[in-house]
Amino acid sequence: MKNIIRNNGLVGVLVLLLAAFAASQWIIGCASVATGSSPFVVNVERVETVAPGAFDLVLGIDDSNRPYWRTNAPRFHAFAEQLRRPVPYMGTNYPASITALLQLQQVKTDYKAGRATSNALWSAFVIVNDLYTDATVWASAVTKPQ
């Protein structure tokens, strides 16, 4: 691994991170569904599990050299800034990525207890899933070797 980092610099590190992330997605995707679990809730929980890693990867890449990404990949940098944007949740400001996950977790808990509708869970799920999808696409795009 040291040779890869030494020879390829930041791109080598980012490619290794992306490969580790992809492997974790494959392992998580192969997890079995517990008897009696709603497939919808299982999918929500899958996204709750994998999304934080994708968000951290994108933010870590952007944090590695913000001026570079701001100048050379402004749309990627804008997406990272969107994930960082403070959003109020229960009296505290959290980054938008964390707020979306907290809201999804709360609605899922309420849904399981019969206090929320499937439409409410779907709405919260779509927000996190779209951010997750965008994060994986951006991570792939900016770590692609030239």
pLDDT along the chain (146 residues), means of 10: 49 60 56 66 96 97 96 97 97 97 97 95 98 96 78
Among 141, 140, 101, 144, which residue's Cα sits nearest to residue 124? 101
Number of domains in the chain: 1
Among 53, 47, 44, which Cα is nearest to 108's? 44
Query: What's the pLDDT score for residue 15?
Result: 57
Give residue 56's pLDDT. 97
Euclidean distance between the first and final Cα of the chain, in Å? 20
**Are the C-beta atoms of 141 and 63 separated by less than 8 Å?**
no
**CA–CA separation, 139 vs 130, rounded Å?**
14
Q: What residue numbers bound the domain in which 129 lies?
A: 2-143
